[in-house]
């Protein structure tokens, strides 16, 4: 027997008929039928049970209780005359002898109907998240999250990884996003930082002689929200392996993830090992993105040379032109124009199009390319009834437009996307360096702690001007599933000499490295093993498994898009006494 109840609201069945029971939960609904007759639905964590009120005394009690109050009901179980096959307890009901209020809801009106909370405004849902979570459909995502984390933990332990927690209060480190800073009371003018990731600590564990490490790690980044990224706090399956290569890391995740996705996912088909490996540059040229959705069967072809010399400005010399064949496309002109607009909103540029019909092009930009029909057909292999979608512009913009175009048309045209499966791939051979958009100078492209492919020798060649540093690749890799980046990882740079040379390429010398990463640099000077790791995002993983479009649907208490916790009122002002203790002066306040 459980405390305060004999059964949950999902337990009672026909075999319990005639038994005296006690259930507890929230009064979800009351449906009155006449003056002394009502059906009451009681809901707890496990399910719902119907209670039938048949006396004036019990009716008086029920009428005095607002919906969503917590109550206890004691009574006899009987078989229902009108059964509900959609309800687990739909064969029985309780005739109450006693109804007691355990926690009264003091409001006659709720912010939203509990069972339809997902239809409510998101700001209301987040403000009253404790009510939103009463919705069984919302609660299921949190239960799923719990099961997935437990399965991940078991799988990692089964692979001989040790779960080790790393510090939350640490030093600020330049890792690509803004830090959340915590002022130190004992050390005026100095700050801790919440970790963007346990990157340095897990590498230090490798230098300490631990062979396999993991944790379900909280990470903190002061960045903007989007559909697959929550501002502020997120969690990842952080792991690192000593004396390991890229393939060792791949083998672990290819063994751990498919069974979990197949068991807990909305779809029961997941890629089998080995996952497809796609070099970064190939992914960009073929799919217009380094996060391809391999459920879509479309790909891009470069037709720059074939369309030059036309009178259409976007195809002018100096621009890149990428084309994509969408076979059996029955979209109307209105539907295509809508997708063109949507692509422009997401990518910053329109795409162009034409259809193939009776051996020629029609619609869109057909008049500029009909004289090249045969050459384009030979290059693209299209047949009548196809849509030819074209992205054009400076190289990076053309690829960005093409990537969004491919994704939207793949989803919009029937037959080109197998939605009900999980398709994994590895994106490999990332560039080590790139030209920064703001600085205009050489910067790390992905992860400054990665090993450059070719090691010290390739860095020395770049230093001597024998090769372009932009051609240097790194032993870095991303794990992508259904167009969502689940994780980034790398073979780490464990050699202090190579580390210093890599940072010198971005104008940081040996003293800078020692100052910014003192523990890791010094640890590596005492002999560190080659090591590699990765950190799949738990939130994104559960989002995919639940089939949700927003990551906030699978986080118990998420922030809104502006990094505010509207339920708790965070961030909030603090007292002047608190500021004085921390030696902090507020120089600017948020405008009301």
**Same domain for 261 and 172?**
yes
Nearby residues of 314 by Cβ (< 8 Å), 6 or more positions away = 321, 352, 392, 393
**Same domain for 71 and 137?**
no
Q: Could you tell me if residue 404 is inside a domain?
A: yes
What is the count of structural domains for the chain? Answer: 3
Q: How far, in whole angstroms, is CA 253 from its chain's centroid? A: 17
Q: Which domain holds residue 26?
A: 14-103
Strands of 104-196, DSSP E = 162-163, 180-183, 191-194
**Same domain for 150 and 206?**
yes
**Same domain for 151 and 58?**
no
Q: Could you tell me if residue 565 is inside a domain?
A: yes
Nearby residues of 187 by Cβ (< 8 Å), 6 or more positions away = none
Nearby residues of 157 by Cβ (< 8 Å), 6 or more positions away = 163
DSSP strand pairing (276-279 vs 424-428): parallel
Give the number of other Cβ atoms within 10 Å of residue 107's Cβ. Answer: 10
How far is residue 267's CA from residue 546's CA, in Å, rounded to a whole number? 9
Quote the pLDDT of residue 227.
64
Quote the pLDDT of residue 479.
97
Final residue in a domain of this structure, among 397, 412, 427: 412
**Same domain for 135 and 211?**
yes
Burial per residue of 169-186, b for 16 or more beta-carbon CB atoms within 10 angstroms, e otherwise: ebbbbebeeebbebbeee
**Same domain for 336 and 400?**
yes
Final residue in a domain of this structure, among 412, 434, 463: 412
Q: Could you tell me if residue 248 is inside a domain?
A: yes
**Same domain for 244 and 143?**
yes
**Same domain for 138 and 79?**
no
Q: Could you tell me if residue 231 is inside a domain?
A: yes
Nearby residues of 591 by Cβ (< 8 Å), 6 or more positions away = none
**Same domain for 242 and 178?**
yes
Q: Which CATH number goes with the domain that contains 353?
A: 3.30.1360.30
Q: Collapsing DSSP states into helix, strand and coil, what is residue 6?
A: coil
**Same domain for 149 and 262?**
yes
Quote the pLDDT of residue 411.
96
Do 275 and 424 meet the contact criterion of CB atoms below 8 Å apart?
yes
Do 236 and 536 meet the contact criterion of CB atoms below 8 Å apart?
yes
Final residue in a domain of this structure, among 412, 442, 471: 412
**Same domain for 303 and 384?**
yes
Quote the pLDDT of residue 8.
97
Q: Could you tell me if residue 509 is inside a domain?
A: no
Do 386 and 366 meet the contact criterion of CB atoms below 8 Å apart?
no
Prediction pTM value: 0.91
Q: Could you tell me if residue 288 is inside a domain?
A: no
**Same domain for 376 and 302?**
yes
Quote the pLDDT of residue 436.
87
Q: Could you tell me if residue 444 is inside a domain?
A: no
Q: Which CATH number goes with the domain that contains 536?
A: 3.30.930.10
Q: Could you tell me if residue 585 is inside a domain?
A: yes
Do 88 and 47 meet the contact criterion of CB atoms below 8 Å apart?
yes
SS3 content of the chain, % helix, strand, coil (to 5): 35, 25, 40
How far is residue 51's CA from residue 38's CA, in Å, rounded to a whole number? 8
Q: Which CATH number goes with the domain that contains 18?
A: 2.40.50.140
Q: Which parts of the chain have pLDDT scores under 70?
A: 1-3, 174-176, 227-228, 591-592
């Amino acid at each position: 027997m459980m405390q305060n109840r004999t059964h949950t609201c999902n337990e009672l069945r026909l075999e319990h008929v005639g038994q005296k029971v006690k259930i507890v939960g929230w009064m979800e609904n009351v449906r009155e039928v006449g003056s002394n007759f009502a059906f009451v639905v009681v809901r707890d964590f496990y399910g719902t049970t119907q209670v039938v009120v048949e006396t004036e005394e019990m009716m008086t009690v029920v009428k005095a209780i607002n919906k969503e109050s917590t109550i206890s009901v004691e009574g006899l179980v009987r078989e229902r005359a009108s059964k509900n096959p959609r309800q687990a307890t739909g064969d029985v009901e309780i005739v109450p002898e006693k109804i007691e209020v355990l926690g009264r809801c003091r409001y006659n009106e709720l912010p939203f109907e509990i069972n339809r909370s997902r239809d409510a405004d998101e700001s209301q849902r987040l403000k009253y998240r404790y009510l939103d979570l009463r919705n069984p459909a919302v609660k299921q995502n949190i239960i799923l999250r719990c099961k997935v984390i437990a399965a991940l933990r078991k799988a990692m332990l089964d692979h001989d990884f040790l779960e080790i927690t790393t510090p939350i209060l640490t030093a600020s480190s330049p890792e690509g996003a803004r830090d959340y800073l915590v002022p130190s009371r004992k050390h005026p003018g100095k700050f801790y930082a919440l970790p963007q990731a346990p990157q340095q600590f897990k590498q230090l564990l490798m230098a300490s002689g631990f062979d396999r490490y993991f944790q379900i790690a909280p990470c903190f980044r002061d960045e903007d929200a989007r559909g697959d990224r929550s501002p502020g706090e997120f969690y990842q399956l952080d792991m690192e392996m000593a004396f390991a290569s890229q393939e060792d890391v791949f083998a672990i995740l290819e063994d751990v993830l498919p069974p979990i996705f197949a068991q807990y996912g909305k779809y029961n088909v997941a890629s089998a090992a080995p996952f497809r490996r796609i070099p970064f540059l190939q992914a960009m040229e073929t799919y217009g993105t380094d996060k391809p959705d391999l459920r879509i069967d479309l790909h891009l072809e470069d037709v720059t040379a074939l369309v030059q010399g036309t009178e259409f400005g976007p195809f002018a010399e100096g621009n890149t032109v990428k084309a994509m064949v969408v076979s059996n496309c029955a979209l109307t002109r209105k539907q295509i124009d809508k997708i063109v607009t949507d692509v422009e909103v997401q990518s910053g540029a329109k795409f162009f199009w034409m259809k193939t019909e009776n051996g020629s092009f029609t619609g869109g930009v057909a008049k500029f390319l009909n004289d090249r029909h045969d050459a384009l057909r030979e290059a693209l292999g299209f047949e009548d009834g196809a849509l030819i979608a074209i992205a054009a512009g400076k190289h990076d913009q053309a690829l960005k437009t093409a990537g969004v175009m491919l994704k939207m048309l793949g989803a919009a045209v029937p037959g080109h996307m197998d939605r009900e499966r999980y398709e994994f791939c590895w994106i490999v051979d990332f560039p080590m360096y790139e030209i920064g958009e703001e600085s205009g100078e050489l910067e790390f492209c992905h992860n400054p702690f990665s090993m450059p492919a070719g090691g010290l020798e390739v860095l020395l060649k770049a230093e001597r001007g024998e090769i372009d540093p932009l051609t240097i690749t790194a032993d870095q890799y991303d794990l992508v599933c259904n167009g969502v980046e689940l994780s980034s990882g790398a073979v780490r740079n464990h050699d202090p000499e190579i580390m210093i040379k890599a940072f010198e390429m971005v104008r940081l010398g040996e003293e800078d490295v020692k100052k910014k990463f003192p523990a890791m640099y010094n640890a590596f000077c005492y002999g560190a093993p080659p090591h590699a790791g990765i950190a799949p995002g738990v939130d994104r993983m559960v989002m995919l498994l639940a089939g949700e479009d927003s990551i906030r649907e699978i986080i118990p208490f998420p922030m809104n898009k502006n990094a505010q916790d509207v339920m708790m009122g965070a961030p909030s002002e603090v007292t002047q006494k608190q500021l004085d203790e921390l030696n902090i002066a507020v120089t600017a306040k948020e405008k009301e």
